[in-house]
Amino acid sequence: MRLYLVRHGESTYNRDGLGLGREDPPLTDLGLRQTAAAVERLAGERVDRILTSPLERAAAIARGLAERTGAPLETRGDLIEMDVGETEGLPFREMRERFPGFIEAWRAPDPTDVVMPGGESLAQVAERLEPLAAELHALPDEETVVAVSHNFVVRLLICRLLGLEVPAFRAFSLDLASVSTLSLRAGRASLRTLNNRCHLPPDPDTRA
């Protein structure tokens, strides 16, 4: 089967460099354009199922794609972003001042079991994604699924599907509204594209 993994568009917290987990700040104007571009990128593909995080910044892409393709839309709690606890809405400088021990542990080579202050660990997120990974591996070869989610969740789901350990999530990054593609067959997964953003409008801050 073919799996498209999509990260949501830019929210005000992303724009302002604030910690973002379960809160659901609105999309920026750029985020709205990114959302429309991601929908347009996938609207011409065969889509059998659409899975989405319950948070609106992700659901906006999923809902738009469902309207364009007619594919059934399913809201999945397991696709919600990592609970970042007390770091929600904080700039990094303030995180470093308030939680120096956490920041030091998070920067260690293996942060798998490091718990966000008042939130989740990467290990806990990976564990809640295991049933979804098994479900995706069990789908028919001809099926195509789009899943719209968040930074940590998409990176960890890629790791689980590829059989990589949790620390491997640091080996790659995912831009906002990017699309990554995997093929799943016979219990194995192969990565076809990673962090594809060719469909996105130019970021005003990076124009020449």
Q: Is 8 a catalytic residue?
A: yes
pTM: 0.95
For residue 158, what are the β-bridge partners?
none
Domains identified in the chain and CATH numbers = 2-202 (3.40.50.1240)
Stretches where the chain sits below pLDDT 70 are 203-208
Separation of alpha carbons 73 and 65, rounded Å: 9
Contact 33, 20 (CB under 8 A): no
Contact 196, 177 (CB under 8 A): no
pLDDT of 208 reads: 34
**Exposed/middle/buried for residue 22 (C-beta within 10 Å: 0-12, 13-18, 19+):** middle
pLDDT of 137 reads: 96
- Which of these is catalytic: 10, 56, 81, 142? 81
Q: Is 81 a catalytic residue?
A: yes
Distances 161 to 90, 118, 132, 185, 186 between C-alpha atoms, Å: 31, 28, 10, 11, 12
pLDDT of 201 reads: 83
